[in-house]
Amino acid sequence: TSRPASPDRGKLQRGAACYSCRRRKRKCDGNWPCSQCSHLNIEDECEYADAGKRAIAPILQQNINDLEHRIHDLEHPHRPRPERALPVRQPYSTSTSRTVSPHPESRFSFNLPCKSLRLPAGAVSEPPKEMIEQLIDSFLAYSSEVGFFLNSSRFRQSALLPLPLGHYSRPAPALLATVYLWALRLSGQLNLIAQEPVFLARALSLTSKGLSDPHPHRVMHTLQAEVLLSYFFFAAGRVLEGKYHSAAAVSLGLSSSLHLVRSQNHVASGTLAPAVDDTEEGERIHAWWTVMVMDKCWAVGLGEMPSFAHRDSLAMVDTPWPLESDDYGKGYLSPSTRYSHTIEKFVDSVPTSDTGMTTVAMLAKASILWQRADDLARTWQSEMLAEAAALFRAEFVRLDALIDRFRDALVPPNQISNPTPAMTRALVVAHSIAHSATVRLHGLFSQTDVLARRKRLAAARSVLGIIAAVPLRHFKYINPIMGVRWSSSYILLPRLT
């Protein structure tokens, strides 16, 4: 098949090239697959935004369906697969829910000091009122490390209201159930952790029906529950289920137009009503970038392609870089300012007033660079044709320079003014994965190029140096992806020295 060319014979209309050619700045012929992608043997990356070609939404739909089928096969090996596909705008069936078996022992350590808690047997819907505050506070202390993007103060205030579960003034039941699940894990108390399977089943059941809940914040709260569940499964070593919930979060974020918050070029067409104030709008901005960080980082950490970014949808992301969570209520985001091509401008080094210098913005940028480094490294072949090798080398040099500039601009975690523990941890993760991007790129040539070997070694050492530079009190719990990243650097050093 082919796409209509512009009146200027032989040239496609602006923005009509496939995502892969746009990202690598190649001349696209508009076919599917195009000649450039065919030449580089990456036909599966040849994607277009219009309905005439394979688009992002169907790909996400297929990913979710495939993961659902694989989970079903693992849990019910002797039962036939369900026939009905899951709609991309509502990633879960609202009429059924899966049963969940107890998870295997986590590969990560969670040691959070918490007052001794005793959860009564059968306390499934909600813990006793006297326990809720302790559980909420235990969770919020490290909630930023597991993808919590809502305003913590507002969430805590509404969660502790003396109202029944499901009341519109409290968080949606799906979100509360998932928060309680994480609170059990973060408590570090074996008697509570032992009850995780019951609370996990409850959280999954409620989240599967979250979008049909009449709660006024059902979309954002269901999205938040999806993100928390994804991190929970990844941290527990249940990768397939983590990927399922991550893909569902990406799908829900896109269908809610969270990538178009404050867009200069598009009118958001999602299901969300206009934000009531700056804080609520800030939650939506944070939600988008939280989903992106999760999608990119875990894709690289697991050696797979992300659900969203690998199709390059750079031009689609108009949402501005996130501020620190508490800054939205201070009026730091101008009400009249609009934004466009946020990621594209960053990777192309285009100057913009939206500098994105907060700790959470730096984390988002580092995630983008890490995933792009991994994406580029995947295209390398030792027997590439001369033209393909030249294109690869040009992109390698450009991306390597961008990563270097970003690393140089990163503020050390122990040198920021008035930091919160969450801000410090965000910078630790940002530094770690930015250095990891360099490790990934130069690992391609470290066996044959002395300079590449030295740069890779220096970056690996920098990852471990970041850990040593920050007080241990900040590391009682940190983003689970760091367990993968830090262990890789630790293993790598002896091989390079």
Q: Among 98-112, 123-137, 161-175, 310-324, which range has the highest average pLDDT?
A: 161-175
Q: What is the DSSP string of 427-488?
A: HHHHHHHHHHHHHHHHTTTTTT-HHHHHHHHHHHHHHHHHHHHS-GGGGSS--THHHHHHHH
Place of tokens 């939280």: 290
Predicted confidence band of residue 150 (pLDDT cuts 50, 70, 90)? very high
Domain presence at residue 27: yes
Q: For 428-450, what is the mean pLDDT?
A: 88
pLDDT-wise least confident of 1-5, 94-98, 271-275, 315-319: 94-98
pLDDT at 87: 38
Q: Among 35-39, 116-120, 400-404, 412-416, which range has the highest average pLDDT?
A: 400-404
In whole angstroms, give the CA distance from residue 130 to residue 141: 18
Predicted confidence band of residue 89 (pLDDT cuts 50, 70, 90)? very low
Res 114 pLDDT > 60: no
Could you tell me the pTM of the whole model?
A: 0.77
Predicted confidence band of residue 303 (pLDDT cuts 50, 70, 90)? confident
In a 13 Å sphere around the CA of 4, the CA atoms on its Cβ side amount to 4
Interval 479-496: pLDDT, tens: 888 876 555 544 444 444
Q: What is the DSSP string of 72-139?
A: HHHH-TTSPPP-PPPPTTS-S-SS-----PPPPPPSS----------PPTT--S---HHHHHHHHHHH
Domain presence at residue 22: yes
Interval 328-383: pLDDT, tens: 988 888 888 999 999 999 999 999 989 999 999 999 999 999 999 999 999 988 88
pLDDT-wise least confident of 18-32, 274-288, 412-426: 18-32
Phi, psi (5° rounding) for residue 417?
-90, 140
Domain presence at residue 409: no
Domain presence at residue 11: yes
Domain presence at residue 29: yes
Domain that holds residue 44: 1-54
pLDDT at 38: 79
Domain presence at residue 259: no
Mark 262-297 as b/e (b = at least 16 C-beta within 10 Å).
Answer: bbeeeebebebeeeeebbbbbbbbbbbbbbbbbbbb
pLDDT at 99: 35
pLDDT-wise least confident of 39-43, 153-157, 314-318: 39-43
Domain presence at residue 20: yes
Separation in Å, CA 405 to CA 160, 370, 401, 438 = 45, 14, 6, 12
Q: DSSP 3-state assignment of 355?
A: coil
pLDDT at 129: 84
Structure token digits, residue 62: 């297929």
Question: 219, 249 in Cβ contact below 8 A?
Answer: no
Domain presence at residue 4: yes
Place of tokens 């990456």: 42
For 148, counting Cβ atoms within 10 Å of its Cβ (0-12 exposed, 13-18 middle, 19+ buried), the class is buried
pLDDT at 419: 86
Interval 246-288: pLDDT, tens: 999 999 999 999 999 999 988 767 779 999 999 999 999 999 9
Res 449 pLDDT > 60: yes
Total count of domains within the chain: 1
pLDDT at 133: 94
